[in-house]
Structure formats: C-alpha cells, structure tokens
Amino acid sequence: MAAKSLSSLLGVLPDLSSYESLYKHFHANPELSQQEYETARTVAMHLRDLKVYDVHTGIGGTGLVGILKNGPGKTILLRADMVRDFRSICYLFLRYSRSMKHV
C-alpha cells in the first residue's frame, strides 16, 4: 500500500499561521529542563482558550495534559516535548545581546 500524504488524508492542510507568534515566543524564552513553568502556563492557557480540552496541570512538576473527548471508543495519546534546537539558541542570543546594550 502506497503511503499517503498529509494533505491527501486531510483534504486541505490547516492554516497554522496563528501559531507563529507562539512558536517565536517559546524559542525566544527558553527555560531550563524541569523548570518550564512559563511554557506550561502558556500551553495550558492556549488549550483552555480553545474551549475543547479538559486541561490538567502540575503533572510531575511542569507537565500538563489536555484531554479532547470525542465520544466512546479508542483513546489516542499524543506526547509533545519541548526541545531546545538551533533556532532557540539563536533567539536566546538575540534576546541577551539586545539586553546587553543597556549595560
């Protein structure tokens, strides 16, 4: 069986442009591992604003769960981790280099 593309499965790809500022915020404000309190607050607030998730916070410290109920049947778990990558290092450098101008 041939693999199908995401666009063929969905029909049309969703517009994710509204997530650009969220993406930039996370990369511009990285937090240390196990100390992602602001990140957890931001994600929880975003999930609650969607008004379709039952949000539970404080799991293991900074973890959270957003439950999207879709009636009876099987349950699917999706896991997402925040990983520091090259972009976040660049944003971090820009953030601190800008703040150093005031020293």
Distance, in Å, from the CA atom of 40 to the CA atom of 14, rounded to the nearest integer, reads 24
pLDDT at residue 48 greater than cutoff 90: yes
What's the average model confidence in pLDDT over 23-42? 85
Task: Return the pLDDT at 103.
Answer: 45
Q: In Å, how far are 14, 16, 45, 76 from 6, measured between CA atoms? A: 10, 14, 28, 18
Distance, in Å, from the CA atom of 28 to the CA atom of 90, rounded to the nearest integer, reads 8
Q: Confidence band (pLDDT; 50, 70, 90) for 15?
A: confident
